[in-house]
């Protein structure tokens, strides 16, 4: 009984594969359309994953307060007390003008001799603040940073929350747009798969009536079509992952150095394994659903 079922399944799976090949052009359309919609989903996952990672690292990014020139020792001490007394700030480090110059000199390496031409130190003293990682919401930091920027000792604030805020807005908007596009494209590819299956059912109509005649069950007749849809969906999913890998490497190659420059050590991640698997499962599910839609339209006639 069990081996009988397995043999039937193997036979039906083969039939499904043969159907995909016989469907030719229309099957390729179906695969490409699934790939397009799933590519959006891949991008969605990648953008989402990387942006929230960026957001995290942005929030434990250090905020630097550049100080005005000619501050007295007490003024600096008073500011330091204020900073250390603030809950959102976990660590305060003072960098004197001289220390700043030293760091700069070290970062220049071989080109450090350029600094020898300076006769006074152009770099300001600063406070380097580490923010509390528990403060995730940019809104919470905004009043604090505004307050600090207005203090008389402070020349300017770097690493403010504005771009963090913009990033998180972008995240919400990007998510919505990608998701919406993804849903629309998924519906389209479902319809395209249903159409391909429809064509196959038409092509094999005689065969199906003969199958009924010799006592094939309704499921036996339907399964190859469902396999066909699932296979087209799966191929679409693989193509989508391949395409996003291509995009990913192109992006890393061209854009990543730029990102490193702006954001420091932050780099972009590819799709995580479970997300890639999810894409494949979704692809097959869309394909199978397309087949079912097509078949139920048919039996409704």
Binding-site ranges for other proteins (CB under 8 A) = 3-8, 11, 206-207, 209-218, 220
Would you say 37 and 188 are in contact if contact means Cβ atoms under 8 Å apart? yes
Pick 33 or 200: Cβ nearer other proteins: 200
Other CB atoms closer than 10 Å to residue 5's CB: what's the count? 9
Closest CA to 230 of 38, 33, 17: 17
| Cβ at position 203, least distance to other proteins in Å | 9
Distance CA 184, CA 36 (A): 11
Pick 111 or 206: Cβ nearer other proteins: 206
Which residue, chain included where needed, has tokens 């039937």? 8
Helices (H) and strands (E) in the chain, counts: 8, 4
SS3 state at 218? helix
Pick 81 or 203: Cβ nearer other proteins: 203
| Cβ at position 5, least distance to other proteins in Å | 6
Distance CA 268, CA 255 (A): 10
Pick 66 or 220: Cβ nearer other proteins: 220
Structure tokens, 293: 């839609």
| Cβ at position 173, least distance to other proteins in Å | 51
If phi > 0 it is left, if psi is from -120 to 50 it is alpha, else beta; for residue 159 that is: left
Pick 214 or 262: Cβ nearer other proteins: 214
DSSP 211-280: HHHTT--HHHHHHHHHHHHHHHHHHHHHHHHHHHHHHHHHHHHHHHHHHHHHHTT-------HHHHHHHH
Structure tokens, 80: 């330091």
Compute the Cα dihedral for 95, 100, 102, 103 and give only its sign.
positive
Pick 100 or 216: Cβ nearer other proteins: 216
Q: 160 - beta bridge partners?
A: none
| Cβ at position 194, least distance to other proteins in Å | 23
| Cβ at position 2, least distance to other proteins in Å | 10
Pick 214 or 273: Cβ nearer other proteins: 214
Distance CA 290, CA 298 (A): 12
Pick 46 or 197: Cβ nearer other proteins: 197
| Cβ at position 177, least distance to other proteins in Å | 46
| Cβ at position 217, least distance to other proteins in Å | 5
């Amino acid at each position: 009984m069990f081996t009988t079922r397995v043999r039937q399944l193997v036979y039906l799976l083969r039939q499904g594969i043969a159907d995909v090949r016989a469907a030719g052009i229309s099957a390729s359309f179906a695969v490409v359309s699934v790939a397009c919609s799933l590519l959006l989903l891949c991008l969605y996952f990648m953008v989402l994953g990387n942006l929230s990672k960026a957001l995290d690292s942005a929030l434990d990014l250090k905020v630097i307060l550049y100080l005005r020139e000619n501050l007295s020792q007490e003024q600096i001490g008073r500011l330091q007390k204020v900073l250390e007394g603030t809950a959102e700030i976990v660590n305060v480090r003072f960098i004197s003008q001289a220390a700043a110059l030293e760091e700069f000199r070290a970062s220049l390496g071989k080109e450090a001799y350029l600094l020898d031409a300076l006769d006074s130190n152009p770099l300001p003293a600063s406070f380097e603040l580490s923010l509390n990682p528990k403060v995730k919401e940019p809104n919470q930091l905004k009043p604090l940073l505004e307050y600090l920027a207005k203090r008389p000792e402070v020349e300017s604030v770097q690493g403010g929350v504005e771009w963090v805020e913009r990033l998180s807005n972008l995240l919400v908007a990007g998510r919505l747009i990608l998701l919406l596009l993804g849903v629309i494209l998924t519906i389209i590819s479902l319809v395209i798969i249903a159409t391909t299956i429809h064509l196959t059912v038409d092509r094999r109509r005689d065969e199906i009536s003969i199958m009924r005649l010799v006592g094939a069950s309704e499921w036996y007749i339907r399964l190859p079509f469902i396999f066909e849809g699932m296979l087209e969906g799966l191929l679409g999913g693989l193509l989508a992952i391949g395409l996003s890998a291509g995009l990913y490497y192109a992006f890393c190659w061209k854009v990543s150095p730029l990102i490193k420059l702006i954001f420091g050590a932050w780099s972009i991640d590819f799709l995580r394994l479970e997300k890639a698997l999810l894409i494949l499962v979704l692809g097959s599910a869309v394909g199978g659903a397309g087949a079912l839609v097509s078949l139920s339209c048919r039996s409704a006639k």
